[in-house]
Chains A and B, each alone.
Chain A
Amino acid sequence: MSERPTILEARDLVVSLGGRRRSLFRPARAPVRAVAGVSLALRQGETLGLVGESGCGKTTLGRTLLGIQREAAGEIRLDGAVVSGLAPALARARRRAIQYVHQDAAAALDPWWSIGRLIEEGLIVAGVRPAGLRRAKVGAMLEAVGLEAAFHARYVHELSGGQLRRVALARILLLEPRIVILDEPTSGLDLSVQATVLRLIAELRARLGLSYLLISHDLSVVERMCERIAIMYLGRIVETGPTRAIFASPRHPYTQALLAAAPRLARVVRPTGLILAGEPPSPRALPSGCAFRTRCPNAAPACAATLPPLEAASHQHWVACLKWREIPERPRPPLVTGAESA
Chain B
Amino acid sequence: MPGSLAVEVYGLAKRYGATTAVHDISFTAATGRVLALLGPNGAGKTTTVETCEGYRSPDAGRVRVLGLDPVRERRLLAPRIGVMLQRGGVYPSARPLEMLRLLASFAADPLDPDELVDRLGLRESAGTPYRRLSGGQQQRLSLALALVSRPAVVFLDEPTAGLDPQARLATWDLVRELRADGVAVVLTTHAMDDAAELADDVVIIDAGRVVATGTPAELTAGPARLTFRAPPGLDVAALAAALPAGCGVAEQPAGHYAVTGAADPALVSAIAAWCADHGVLAGDLTVARRTLEDVFLELTGRELRV
Asked whether A and B interact, the reply is no
